[in-house]
């Protein structure tokens, strides 16, 4: 009589799924454990379960959006100088993406107190990030204009990635405006000014800032490094898919300036299907543990109605 295969396969598959879930969750939530999103009960944080922020930031498309933001941020000479002179991204390939994930995770899903603490930590770190760019201009990471640039590149990237690769329904124009209006709070808390709060305002901002952007040698070098960082061999195929998807979401002139143009038609015929398939697998992987959104929702719903 043949032995049943399902019980034999279930244990290794479940184990692999759990291990992968921890790694992917680390990128999406910066290593935050689910327990860290559980307290205090009744505090929905800055946004809450009905927000567009929770909807967008809990999706696996954030992996594409985070990479897209890193590519785009290289276009600002002062921001690029800060990264080059104060970042260890070459020795820690995914460290910056993980730190961004940690900050986004806490400010999106954590309690109000946790979000405020995360902002204080980032502002303190930014206080040490200053110097002189190669063109002779001084820069300071707490400069409201630079804070605005980093914020807008990130949230625009998260929004675009969700609209193309998100697992849920696309945001309507009204929901998109609501997303930008909600998430502006993070930038304001960090010290940014004149933060765009709608799709139209984000578009106008990029048009206004475009004359300040250029892809110098350092920007191109960083962009090329982002295309193929020194990752473990097993992680490289998946990363290549995510990086190609991120590049495909960049404006055409930015791709040309950074010289990361992808072959014609490959975005539609290869990159998009491969990315959707990969994110679908990652969605299955993350089913092995609760997402920050699920945990935060449970935390809020556990509150008595009178609170």
217-224: Cβ within 8 A, 24+ apart:
218/74, 218/80, 218/81, 218/84, 218/134, 219/74, 219/75, 219/77, 219/80, 219/258, 220/258, 220/259, 222/74, 222/80, 222/83, 222/84, 222/89, 223/71, 223/74, 223/258, 223/259, 223/260, 224/259, 224/260
Q: Give pLDDT, residue 237.
A: 87
- The continuous run of DSSP H or E covering 226 comes out as helix 217-227
Distant-in-sequence, close-in-space partners of 300: CB < 8 Å, separation ≥ 6: 41, 42, 43, 44, 48, 49
What local confidence, expressed as pLDDT, does residue 79 receive? 87
pLDDT range class, residue 283, cuts 50, 70, 90: confident
Query: Among the listed ranges 15-29, 58-72, 79-93, 258-272, which one has the minimum average pLDDT value?
Result: 15-29
Q: How confident is the model at residue 297 (pLDDT cuts 50, 70, 90)?
A: low
Residue 189 vs residue 36, higher pLDDT: 189
Greatest alpha-carbon pair distance for the chain in Å reads 79
Residues composing the chain: 307
The residue-averaged pLDDT of 98-126 equals 89
Task: Give residue-wise pLDDT tens across range 186-215.
Answer: 999 999 999 999 999 999 999 999 999 999
Please tell me whether the peptide bond between 124 and the residue prior to it is cis, using omega within 30 degrees of 0.
no
pLDDT category, 216, cuts 50, 70, 90? confident
SS (H, E, C) 188-225: HHHCCCCCCCCHHHHHHHHHHHHHHCCCCHHHHHHHHH
* d(C-alpha 155, C-alpha 97), whole Å: 14
What is the mean predicted confidence (pLDDT) over 80-103?
72
User: H-helix or E-strand containing 5?
Assistant: none
pLDDT at 238: 87
Task: Assign 300 a pLDDT band (cuts: 50, 70, 90).
Answer: low
Who wins on pLDDT, 1 or 270?
270
Residues 251, 210: contact at Cβ < 8 Å?
no
pLDDT at 207: 97
- What band does 288 get if pLDDT is binned at 50, 70 and 90? very low
Query: Cβ of 205: how many Cβ atoms within 10 Å?
Result: 17
Rounded CA-CA distance 154/169 in Å is 21
- The neighbouring-strand residues paired with 139 are 131
Asked if pLDDT for residue 20 goes beyond 50, the answer is no
- What is the C-alpha to C-alpha distance for residues 82 and 70, in angstroms, rounded to an integer? 13
pLDDT at position 125: 86
Phi first, then psi, for residue 232 (nearest 5°) are -55, 145
Three-state DSSP class for 84?
helix
Cβ–Cβ contacts within 10 Å for residue 61, how many?
A: 28
Mean per-residue pLDDT of the chain? 81
Q: Does residue 67 contact residue 146 with C-beta atoms inside 8 Å?
A: no
pLDDT interval class at 233 (50, 70, 90): confident
């Amino acid at each position: 009589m043949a032995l049943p295969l399902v019980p034999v396969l279930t244990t290794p598959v479940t184990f692999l799924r759990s291990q992968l879930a921890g790694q992917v969750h680390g990128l999406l939530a910066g290593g935050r454990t689910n327990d860290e999103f559980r307290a205090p009960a009744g505090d929905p944080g800055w946004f809450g379960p009905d927000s567009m922020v929770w909807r967008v930031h809990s999706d696996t498309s954030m992996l594409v959006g985070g990479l897209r933001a890193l590519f785009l941020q290289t276009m600002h000479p002062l921001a690029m100088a800060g990264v080059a002179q104060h970042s260890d991204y070459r020795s820690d390939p995914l460290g910056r993406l993980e730190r961004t994930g940690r900050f986004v995770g806490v400010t999106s899903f954590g309690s109000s107190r946790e979000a405020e603490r995360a902002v204080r930590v980032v502002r303190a770190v930014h206080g040490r990030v200053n110097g002189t760019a190669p063109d002779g201009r001084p820069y300071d990471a707490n400069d409201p204009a630079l804070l605005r640039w980093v914020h807008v590149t990130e949230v625009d990237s998260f929004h675009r990635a969700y609209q193309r690769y998100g697992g849920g329904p696309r945001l309507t124009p009204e929901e998109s405006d609501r997303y930008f209006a909600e998430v502006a709070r993070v930038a304001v808390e960090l010290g940014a000014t004149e933060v765009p709060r709608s799709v139209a305002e984000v578009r106008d901002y990029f048009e206004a800032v475009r004359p300040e952007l250029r892809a110098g040698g350092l920007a191109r070098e960083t962009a090329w490094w982002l295309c193929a960082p020194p990752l473990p061999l097993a992680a490289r195929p998946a990363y290549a898919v995510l990086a190609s998807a991120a590049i495909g979401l960049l404006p055409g002139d930015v791709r040309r300036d950074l010289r990361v143009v992808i072959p014609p038609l490959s975005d539609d015929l290869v990159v998009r299907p491969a990315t959707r398939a990969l994110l679908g697998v990652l969605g299955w992987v993350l089913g092995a543990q609760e997402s920050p959104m699920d945990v935060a929702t449970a935390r809020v719903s556990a509150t008595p109605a009178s609170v």
